[in-house]
Amino acid sequence: MKPREAPADEADDDWFEPPTTEQDDTIEHSLFGEILDWMLAPLLLLWPMSIAITYLVAKSIANQPFDHALEDSVTVLTQQVKQADGAVLRHVPEKNGKGRDFLRGDDVDTLYYLVVGARGEYLDGDRDLPPPQDPDKYRSGMVLFRNDTIHGTPVRVAFTYLDMPSSSDDEPRRALVQVAETLEKRAQLANEIIKGVILPQFIILPVILALVWFALARGLSPLAQLQERIRARPPDDLSPIESGQVPEEITPLVGSLNEMLARLSLSIDMQKRFIADAAHQMKTPLAGMRMQSELALRQTDHDEIHRSLLQLAKSSEAATRLVNQLLALARAENQPQAGTAFEPIELSELARGVVQDWVQASFAQHIDLGFEQPAYSIMISGNAMMLRELLSNLIDNALRYTPAGGSVTVRVRSTLELAILEVEDTGPGIPPAERAHVFERFYRILGSNVDGSGLGLAIVREIAQQHGAEVDIFNNPRAHSPKLPGTLLRLSIALLLPDAPEEDDITYG
């Protein structure tokens, strides 16, 4: 799988905001902008809440001194009323001809008062001042406060109830004294408090924004430095990035990037080695073709010319097979691993078709090519063309290494969860020490004395990996000659429709 290409290089000043293109529908996110949003959004949300809370606190603070003044007025008025008569309440007595002017001495707010007798009769003050609701729930002798309105104007009211003496036959009665004040001074004081708190915030807030911006730019500067170091690398430099110079938070990212660079370096090295090996392998048949063609041109004897042409045909066949296997391996490596490339396949039918294609080749080599299949259907999901290529390479290898008079058997069976495809032969077998290497490209077992390119099993392994299958190598349990232990190659792939009965696995040595 090819790594996704990175976006085009941006200007250094915009390193944290890569622009989007019209062809790319993916929305690019700026780490700088996202962190800034998450820091400023709560700040901007909390700021109005701070103003509201400050306003409520300012009102509470402004109420306290004026409530004390109202309480004093109620206390003074209560004392004046009590002095009028010990049993009968009358109006506030006049003093020096001014009477109730001691309650009217405020130039900003308007004050109101009301004195009501023990039987609810009006005694003195402003008749429009409303009485408290549910008077029975208030205790006598305590100065209490409430918010109310008079003439449509909101006022703050301080009031108290007075117990009045009564005869033994009468129930205790209470008189009411209350003083009200408009809210102008309170509002002015609350506004002054709010101004003293809010106005400095208008100065501090831009400073905070500038400091946050600067702190984020400094905090994310290691990312810009890392970007510059990566940009400055030569195109062929796949060495690991030094993680000691990056912040701890992006160390895992650098580690993952180093792992990807290591895999990419390994892949490139494998491709280079593959190209070098392929070029080396191609030299032999091409050199043989050139030599035989030159010999044929110099020969005058028809028999010699014929022998040269036969050798030329063999070299051409070897080169053709090598090129075909190289193309098959390249196709297998680039085959999609899932999706539309896979389809339901009946494994027995596919295997039978491939075996039929190799019948004539087995006759020419005097080898008995057999096929065994169960009575039920075995369904898998895969790419039919690639699986045919896989089985063809297995059969080709088996025929090449099996001597004349031997046998090659292709078998299809299944377990409860797996479809099993086996190819067994009666050839020399593969030593256990070599089984881990025969799947490598261009690997040939020494002393095999069999023509080949060493790509067949490499193609098998690649196609098996594409299908999530496993390939195992065993000795042929049905071989009868100790000198020819044979080989059994087993492909295990998941069933698409596991409707076959469970079979016991056979253990091969």
Task: Give pLDDT, residue 446.
Answer: 45
Q: What is the pLDDT of residues 430-460, one digit of tens each?
A: 888 888 777 776 666 544 555 555 677 887 8
Task: Give pLDDT, residue 492.
Answer: 94
The CA-to-CA distance between both ends of the chain, in Å, stands at: 37
Residues 6+ apart with CB under 8 A from 428: 401, 448, 483, 484, 485
Q: What is the pLDDT of residues 355-414, one digit of tens each?
A: 999 999 899 899 999 999 999 999 999 888 888 888 988 998 889 888 898 999 999 999
Buried b (16+ CB within 10 A) or exposed e, 447-463: eeeeebbbbbbbbbbbb
Residues 6+ apart with CB under 8 A from 291: none
Helix 221-231 × helix 184-219 angle, to 10°: 20
Q: What single string gives the DSSP state of each residue in 369-388?
A: EEEE--SS--EEEE-HHHHH
Buried b (16+ CB within 10 A) or exposed e, 131-142: eeeeeeebeeee
Are the C-beta atoms of 86 and 165 separated by less than 8 Å? Answer: yes
User: pLDDT below 70 — which residues of the chain?
Assistant: 1-29, 81-106, 165-172, 270, 273-274, 276-284, 318, 321-322, 325-326, 328-341, 441-454, 497-509
Residues 6+ apart with CB under 8 A from 205: 47
Tracing tokens 């339901």 back to the chain, one arrives at: 344
- Phi, psi of 356, rounded to the nearest 5 degrees: -60, -35
Task: Give pLDDT, residue 359.
Answer: 92
Task: Give pLDDT, residue 329.
Answer: 64
Task: Give the tokens for residue 56.
Answer: 């409520």
Task: Give pLDDT, residue 499.
Answer: 47
**What pTM was computed for the model?**
0.46
Task: Give the tokens for residue 274.
Answer: 């593959």
Task: Give pLDDT, residue 252.
Answer: 83
Task: Give pLDDT, residue 257.
Answer: 85
DSSP letter at 2 equals P
Separation between Cα atoms, residue 426 and residue 409, nearest integer Å: 9
Residues 6+ apart with CB under 8 A from 36: 212, 213, 216
Q: What is the dihedral of CA 62, 66, 71, 75, to 10 degrees?
A: 160
In order of start, what are the domains of the chain with their CATH numbers? 1-232 (no CATH), 244-329 (1.10.287.130), 337-494 (3.30.565.10)
The sheet with strand 153-164 has its strands ordered as 122-125, 111-116, 173-182, 153-164, 144-150
